Structure 1
Amino acid sequence: MATTRLIAMHINKGKTLAQCIKARTDYSMNPDKTDDGNYISSYECDPVTVDEEFLLTKREYLQKVGRKQKKDIIAYQIRQSFKPGEITPEEANKIGYELGMRFTKGKHAFMVCTHTDKPHIHNHIIFNSTRLDATKKFKNFWFSGLAIQRLSDIICLENGLSVIEIKPYSMRTKRTEFPKRDSFRSNICNQIDISISKNPKDFDEFLSLMAKAGFEYKRGKHISFRGKGQQRFIRLRSLEDGYKEDDIRKRIHGKCTKAHKELKLNLLINIQEKIINKGEAYERWATNFNLKHISKTLLFLRDHEITSMEDLNKRVDSSIDHFNQLSDDIKAKEKRTAEIQVLKKHIFNYSDTRDIYVEYRKSGYSKKYLEAHREQILIHKAAKDAFNDLGCKKIPKVKELNEEYLQLLSEKKNLSSEYYKARSLMQEYKKAQKNVEEFLREDSKYDKEMNKVHR
């Protein structure tokens, strides 16, 4: 896993631009921190003359643009720190270079200095605030730090490294709290797993393995264990599924696995461990599945706090239902607005031809009058038929229809905004579901093939 931080580097008071650039780059390239400069890489600049090249680009920018800001930022630094023991300096420098290239999109010169003087290997990625073409400067946008962290997480997952699992504030532990000790029940469960992993022939041999590990047991109606420091025996039937007597007997004879327990584990951690594992299966994962896709999916699962496949399936179904409901609501409002437009048209037609139709009735529906005013009379009849089709017992007022029409347009606008968000979220959920299912399917295929090989 890697943590990141974006730092703006300003001109120090009392120093020139050249002095500030040189001081920052010299610290990053300190031979004592970078193994005599072995862990330094750069893009579009030479580490030996990086300060002069940065300065030259800034002078060119001043000539082209002619704009100099107060409190000018000379460069930006990305700090990228890795978990101790998880990565080598060579890999860290390579990942830092990839982060610098992706974040700047190759438009800014940068250098990557990997420091090994601390227990945690970390990168100092310094990039020029002025573009290579000397036409623009980097703009530190809102949430740029979060964008760098997310990009760093994706690169770490693509390279088989872990990422930090974000927990809700209510689940975070205070710094003053000490980690909880393992309970007696968890100790018994852990030892049961260890004993079964030694492939005992039967249940009696399993009990002897538990006894050798320092767990006293009692046989009777219910088998119970007592470990070191326990005052009372704990019955197997009171343990979680997979550790009861029947479950243990099935596990010994290979008729049952701990699948139920694995389902309770964090889905993010399960998949992350498979990616991180660089054993003989790693090449298979890389060829059968695009790691970039699953890396982005893992971050999506983490950000939305999805910890199980069941939870993911529920989110997919819920998002589909919500999207369909919004779609139906919008269609209903569109249908009503269309009806109002038709109603208003017929109301105007009815009003304009009403006098002619009244005279037509007074004439006793004269054929001569009909021939003279056929078009107006037919329009009037069409308006009356439309009112009957729409179920209008009383002709509505145009003013009320206009108010209802504006209200429907406002509601439709609000629903449309929510509709597009719901559609996007539904697509993300479905994409994540598809990627996870495909990844787990490949894992299952591999397990079956390995079982055949061992047989």
Structure 2
Amino acid sequence: MATTKISATKSTSRAINYAEKRAEEKSGLNCDIDYAKSAFKASREVYGKTDGNQGHVIIQSFKPGEVTPEQCNALGLELAEKIAPDHQVAIYTHSDTDHVHNHIVINAINLETGKKFNNNKQALKDVRQANDVVCRHHGLSIPNNQAEMRYTQAEQNLIDKGKSSWKNDIRLAVDETQATDMESFQEQLRPKGIIVERVTDKTITYRHIEADKKVRGSKLGDIYDKGGITHGFETEKQRRRRKYESKSTTPERTPTDQSTHRQSRTTLNWSSFDQSTQALFNERKRRERAERAEREAREQDDRARAARAKQIESEPTISKRTKGFDLEL
């Protein structure tokens, strides 16, 4: 399952610096990926669009075990070609969390028209629809809903105008953490201007220092609430364990292996990609069928026990008076 979210950035250089240093795979659309920052800047200067938002960042995240980092990057490039074919785009793939994901940095300037990329409510819908098309084409699952994230009307209005919100700053900060416990989680949030105001058995409250506002995690979305954060700790522990175990058997990738320069559409072997993806898809479906059968069996047993208990309760009892005691026969 691939999910997407989009946000504006005042500095594409900062966005690229963050994404590049942790990238396992990278590629570029309409630019040389190794010179993306300077290329982005040059295009903005040519058209005199150096103020305001310099670009936009899309996070494209996949279900654990669904794609490899190389496949993930190729899918990110394909998405970029659909939503921003005339823009310069840099795609960086991270595998440092359980969900392999892309940071897709889009330069705001359209190379053909000189106009800026319009990041609004419709753009978000277009990105999600294009992402669904890409995933369906390669036999990947798509999300049934976006319950993992919640936006208020006021926040949605800001997004429609291409502006960022303090709540989304919190979401992005949480997304970038790699914590395994609450203490390290709070330490990683502080440099990003976010503090954990309060933690209970079931809830967590964040405070945005600059905006001086606080919000419960449940208001941001399920994955930002206490349960989602705790699950994230366990996921990070498992990821680190797998990475440690694989180091002894997997040779390190060289820098030349990590960088794939693309000026246009990917030239990966899509036939091989489809076969690999289909195998993963079939295995996931098999597990889902087994889990569904097990769940239905449990539910059937529960119904049978409930019916038996109800039957026993409804059966008449015969009492016999014996020496002052009631005996049930």
Give the TM-score band, short-chain normalised: 0.3 to 0.5
More helix by share: 1
- The two structures have a TM-score, normalised by structure 1, of 0.33
Q: Work out which structure has the larger RCO, using CA pairs closer than 8 Å and 6 or more positions apart in sequence.
A: 2
- The two structures have a TM-score, normalised by structure 2, of 0.45
